Amino acid sequence: MNGRWSTTNDGAGRLRARRRVGRHRRCDVVPRRRSEALRALVGGLGLVALVVITTVVPQGATGAPVPAAVATTTSTHSTPREPNEKKVCDKFGSTPVANGRYEVQNDLWGASTSQCVIAFDTGFRVEANHNKSSGPASYPSIVFGCNYGNCTKGTPFPRPISDLGDLRTTWATTTPAKGDYNVSYDIWLDPTARKTGRPTGLELMIWLKHTDRVNPIGKKVGETTLDGVPYEVWQGKADVTTISYVRKQATNSVTNLSIPTFVTDATKRGVAKPGWYMTSVQAGFEPWIGGTGLATTNFSVTRNGQ
């Protein structure tokens, strides 16, 4: 398939016939009144008149009238549309989804190449073709909580990490065969109940999957097993301390992942403080090379089942 036309042994003749069917409704069928007129003309004018008139009927490459089945068309969309789709291409643009419960952000912070996110109620997909030799180009993501002054509808955040309750998340993704990227949660902690600006306490990342040359900031400081899943633990710092839990067995999805389990481990390691607040839970991708093909198909965060 070449997107709009199927490739056949009939060559250009068949393609022209299909284009014509696409433009003119029911041009593949001879109308009844024309058939009656033909019979009359055959009787009065003879075979020559019949040949002249019938040349207006669309023909296939074989010379036969195009069959009615040719009028069937296929979709030109390579990706099925989701309900309530919204396209965001501004570098730091965002849009609410799921009646405002979540916010999808483009977050093109690290590259000059273009990027768009197509947001819908259960997630988003990425359109980009980045080419970074080091470091991520962006973090297209879906947000639950408060992020630079924008708080999602009904969020329990900011909230003391001592009172997170049963905070769980489900996330399903698709990833391309080519490119460099990671699939990661970005969870933010702050010493105060911050709603504006960037948190200053801790960036806690949970990496579900990554390509070979992509690693977290800093260095590996150990390993741990949380809820039966083994992780590498990395720590580093740019303007804020980052701890990254990197799954040793990559996956494209998690179900009912317990967020407090990771916060407790980070607190034991001394990078989080008991009196701090959680401000947001974000889930997205850090593409270095490529980007198209990265998608979130399902995302949710619940606290005590709500």
Strand locations in the chain, DSSP E? 86-88, 94-97, 102-105, 115-120, 123-131, 141-147, 150-151, 159-160, 167-174, 182-190, 202-210, 219-226, 229-237, 241-247, 253-258, 277-285, 289-291, 295-303
Residues 31 and 164 in one domain: no
Residues 114 and 243 in one domain: yes
pLDDT digits (tens, 9 = 90+) for 16-53: 222 222 322 223 333 333 344 434 433 443 433 333 33
Residue 80 lies in a domain: no
- The DSSP code sequence of 229-274 is EEEEEEEEESSSEEEEEEESS--SEEEEEEHHHHHHHHHHTTSS-T
Cis link prior to 158 (omega < 30° from 0)? yes
Residue 204 lies in a domain: yes
CATH code for position 270: 2.60.120.180
Residue 222 lies in a domain: yes
- Give the residues across from 177 on adjacent strands: none
Residue 3 lies in a domain: no
203 in catalytic set: yes
Residue 5 lies in a domain: no
Q: How far is CA 117 from CA 84, 92, 245, 261, 273, in A?
A: 13, 11, 26, 31, 35
Residue 174 lies in a domain: yes
Residues 66 and 197 in one domain: no
Residues 63 and 92 in one domain: no
Tell me which residue of 210, 213, 211, 206 sits closest to 283, measured CA to CA.
206
Q: In the structure, what pLDDT confidence band is assigned to residue 134 with cuts at 50, 70 and 90? A: confident
Residues 206 and 162 in one domain: yes
Residues 120 and 193 in one domain: yes
Residues 102 and 59 in one domain: no
Residues 44 and 153 in one domain: no
Expressed as residue numbers, the domain containing 44 is: 12-71
pTM (predicted TM-score): 0.75
pLDDT digits (tens, 9 = 90+) for 95-122: 999 999 999 999 999 999 999 999 999 9
- The DSSP code sequence of 34-49 is HHHHHHHHHHHH-HHH
Residue 254 lies in a domain: yes
* Catalytic site residue from 82, 85, 127, 203: 203
Residue 4 lies in a domain: no
Q: Is 152 within 8 Å of 96 (Cβ atoms)?
A: yes
Q: In the structure, what pLDDT confidence band is assigned to residue 80 with cuts at 50, 70 and 90? A: low
* Catalytic site residue from 82, 85, 127, 286: 286
Residues 151 and 39 in one domain: no
Question: Per the structure, how many domains does the chain have?
Answer: 2
| 74, pLDDT greater than 60 | no
Percent share of the chain, pLDDT over 70: 74
Last residue of a domain, one of 20, 45, 71: 71
Q: Is 186 within 8 Å of 203 (Cβ atoms)?
A: yes
